Structure formats: C-alpha cells, structure tokens
C-alpha cells in the first residue's frame, strides 16, 4: 500500500470480512482525475487506481450467476467492472449536447432486480441493459437548458428587471426567488427499489421521485431541505432522510410525512446514508453533528460505541452478513451487534 495519508470517500460492503473503500490522497487537488479503490479482506489490504473522480460503488450480480462483482461509477459518466476493468460509457458529459438538457455529474449506482441503475444531476436516470449499454429511463424527466442562459426566459427578464432600483419590490423579489428555485437542477443523490417497476429517487429539491417502469413522477413530501438518502424497506414503508435532520417515511401512494423523531441531539444532522441492521434503522450524518444515529421506531438518537475516540466522523453505513460497517473520512468500524472494532488503514495515523 502507498504510505500516504488518504481520506475515505465511498463504501461498499461485501460480507462480514470484506469491504471496498474509495479513497483520495489528502494532498490531491480538487477535481483531480484519480481514485484508489482499496479492498480490506480479513486483515489484508490491497488497492487499484482509476483515472477519474469517484461517484459511487455497488455490487452487481448478473442473472443466473452466483458471483457478485464490484461496479465503480465515475462522476463524469463512466462505469467500470472492477473485475474485468471493462469500461462502459453511460453519458459522455464532455461532448453531450447542452441545448436540450442540462446535465451534470452522476451520483449513485445500485442494482434493482436484474439491472444496474444510475442517477445524478439534472434529473439523469439510466439503466444498464444485458449487453452493457446504458439507456435513459425517462428523457422527459431530464432538466431542460438553464433558463438564465436564455435572454427571453422569464427568469432572465426578471433578473434584469430587478437591477433597476424602482423595480426592487418585495413582489418582484418573491417572484425572482420562485423562478430561481424552479430553475435549480434536479440533483438525484440516491436511489432504492425492490423491483424494477417501483424505484425511488431522493432529490436535492426537497423531493422524492418514483419510477413505475415507464415514467418518473414526483411524490409529495413534507421535507423542508434537500433529501440525500432513501431506503425501501417494503412496498409500504420507504425511509427518506436528508439535510437539517429531515427524516420521513411513506410511499408513492401516501406521500412522505416528517417523523419529527430527533431527540437529545445537539444540532441538525445531514443524513446521507441509511441501512437496516438487527431490525433497527441506522443513519450516517456527515455534518451538524457528524456521527452514527439509530431509529428505534420512535426516536432518532446518536450511537455511542465506547471506543476511544468515539464514533464522530461518519459518511457511510452498510449492513451485510450480520455486521454493520461504518465509514468516516478517516475511520472504518465494524459492529457485530455486541462489539465494536476499529480497523486501521496503512499509511494513515491510527485513531487512538
């Protein structure tokens, strides 16, 4: 392993002994096209590097196969089979036409049913076919061109209007605020589903979207901030969480209601990950405050491990094979329901 301080960015758990971690060197400049995918396997570390910024990791099992393979999603539109190193172009962002759609980075990749699905900025949603080709789920859902770039758009005209002193009224500013919100990109941070005709997406515009196998529709929510994570437990119970402590439950039939479940927490967590472990819902928060949280069916409370230092910096959480994996920028922990274990990374200073 390279003897260099790194930060952990993404997590993909395979079983109780094996986990993949996306990493970047601490001295790396922003937007540098480099990622190292590190594998922890029962005490041994190995790694491979890629020439693009990492968006997401997931395991994929082809129909009829007993083996799963890691898929690596790059921000700019590339998916890589970690085993074969085969590269698949989902979207060529550098050469994509910008007159019809306002694209952006890809954010998340997951398997639902027999296929891989991807979501990202601009309302982008894609499905991988059995021959390795990627198709958009619903082009009509993609964002159109940026209205501020159109001199004839209402947003552009209102922006120009409010530059004149006598037009700077509360009514005009309120209208301008609405137009700006409507023009914001539909960033889709996360997706989850139990079947290919019922897939949910969590969005930055305080929204949840639902794909019924043919088209994508918006589902009403009581959220007041961006939604970062979504987890389908069953057909009726879908969990959604996001910025400033937003934590909701519902489905595409009922909409999503705010649970108002935070208790004894100093601040408003930004929940960016969720997983079910031993019948309880665990949530990761990367800010305000950072940490690991658990929902017991009534309240959300912060988890204390008893380790020194305790769990603080958490950006991802996954349960598999009877253990809970917890990852922070500099921390990797494993919990079997009774005991916590902190796993050191070679090159980084041990947390003690």
Structural domain includes residue 134:
yes
Structural domain includes residue 235:
yes
Structural domain includes residue 351:
no
State the Cα–Cα distance between residues 161 and 166, nearest whole angstrom: 9
pLDDT at 1: 46
With 60 as the cut, is the pLDDT of residue 130 above it?
Answer: yes
Q: Which residues contact 44 (CB under 8 A, 6 or more apart)?
A: none
Structural domain includes residue 1:
no
State the Cα–Cα distance between residues 218 and 207, nearest whole angstrom: 7
Same domain (yes/no): 37, 127: yes
Structural domain includes residue 215:
yes
As a whole number, the mean pLDDT across the chain is 93
Same domain (yes/no): 118, 161: no
Residue 336 Cα distances to 17, 23, 39, 285, 328, angstroms: 11, 25, 20, 21, 18
The closest of 232, 300, 228, 287 to 260, measured between CA atoms, is: 300
Structural domain includes residue 348:
no
Domain final residue pick, 184, 208, 239: 184
Same domain (yes/no): 218, 322: yes
Same domain (yes/no): 274, 309: yes
pLDDT at 95: 64
pLDDT at 157: 81
Same domain (yes/no): 179, 194: no
Indicate the Cα dihedral angle 84, 88, 93, 96, nearest 10°: 160
Query: Among 45-49, 129-133, 145-149, 173-177, whose mean pLDDT is lowest?
Result: 145-149
Which pLDDT band, with edges at 50, 70 and 90, does 4 fall under? Answer: confident
Same domain (yes/no): 103, 173: no
Task: Label residue 66 exposed, middle or buried (CB < 10 Å: 0-12, 13-18, 19+).
Answer: exposed
Which pLDDT band, with edges at 50, 70 and 90, does 70 fall under? Answer: very high
Nearest-5° Cα angle at 105, 235 to 122? 65
What's the token pair of residue 275? Answer: 């997983």
Contact criterion met (CB below 8 Å) for 347 and 5: yes
Same domain (yes/no): 174, 206: no
Query: Among 111-115, 148-152, 162-166, 218-222, whose mean pLDDT is lowest?
Result: 148-152
Count of domains observed in the chain: 2
Same domain (yes/no): 241, 295: yes
236 vs 92, higher pLDDT: 236
Same domain (yes/no): 213, 321: yes
Residue-wise pLDDT for 139-155, tens only, equals 999 998 776 677 777 87
Q: What is the mean pLDDT of residues 243-260?
A: 97
With 90 as the cut, is the pLDDT of residue 279 above it?
Answer: yes
Same domain (yes/no): 172, 213: no
Domain interval for residue 29:
6-139+185-342
Domain final residue pick, 184, 206, 239: 184
Which pLDDT band, with edges at 50, 70 and 90, does 263 fall under? Answer: confident
With 60 as the cut, is the pLDDT of residue 297 above it?
Answer: yes
Same domain (yes/no): 220, 257: yes
Structural domain includes residue 334:
yes
Structural domain includes residue 349:
no
Same domain (yes/no): 256, 285: yes
CATH code of residue 197: 2.130.10.10
State the Cα–Cα distance between residues 50 and 36, nearest whole angstrom: 6
């Amino acid at each position: 392993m390279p003897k260099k301080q790194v930060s952990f960015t993404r997590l993909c758990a395979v079983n109780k002994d094996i986990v993949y971690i996306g990493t970047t060197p601490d001295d790396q400049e922003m937007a540098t096209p480099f990622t190292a995918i590190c594998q922890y396997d029962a005490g041994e570390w190995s790694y491979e590097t890629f020439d693009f910024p990492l968006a997401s990791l997931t395991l994929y099992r082809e129909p009829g196969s007993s083996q799963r393979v890691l898929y690596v999603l790059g921000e700019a539109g590339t998916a890589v089979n970690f085993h074969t190193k085969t590269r698949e172009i989902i979207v060529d962002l550098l050469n994509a036409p910008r007159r019809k759609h306002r694209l952006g980075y890809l954010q998340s990749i997951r398997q639902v049913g027999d296929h891989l699905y991807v979501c990202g900025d601009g309302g982008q949603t894609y499905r991988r076919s059995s021959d390795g080709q990627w198709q958009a789920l619903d082009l009509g859902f993609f964002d159109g061109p940026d209205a501020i770039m159109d001199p004839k758009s209402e947003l552009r005209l209102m922006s120009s209007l409010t530059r004149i002193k006598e037009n700077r009224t509360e009514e005009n500013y309120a209208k301008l605020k609405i137009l700006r919100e409507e023009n914001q990109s539909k960033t889709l941070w996360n997706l989850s589903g139990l079947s290919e005709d019922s897939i949910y997406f969590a969005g930055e515009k305080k929204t949840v979207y639902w794909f019924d196998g043919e088209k994508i529709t918006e589902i009403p929510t009581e959220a007041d901030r961006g939604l970062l994570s979504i987890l389908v437990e069953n057909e009726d119970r879908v969990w959604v969480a996001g910025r400033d402590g937003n934590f909701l439950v519902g489905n595409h039939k009922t909409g999503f209601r705010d649970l108002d479940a935070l208790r004894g927490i100093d601040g408003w967590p930004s929940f960016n990950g969720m997983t079910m472990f031993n019948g309880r819902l665990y949530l990761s928060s990367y800010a305000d405050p950072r940490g690991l949280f658990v929902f017991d069916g009534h309240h959300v409370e912060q988890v204390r491990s008893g380790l020194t230092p305790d769990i603080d910096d958490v950006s991802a959480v996954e349960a598999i094979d009877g253990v809970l994996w917890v990852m922070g920028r500099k921390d990797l922990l494993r919990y079997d329901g009774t005991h916590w274990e902190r796993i050191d990374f070679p090159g980084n200073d041990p947390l003690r």
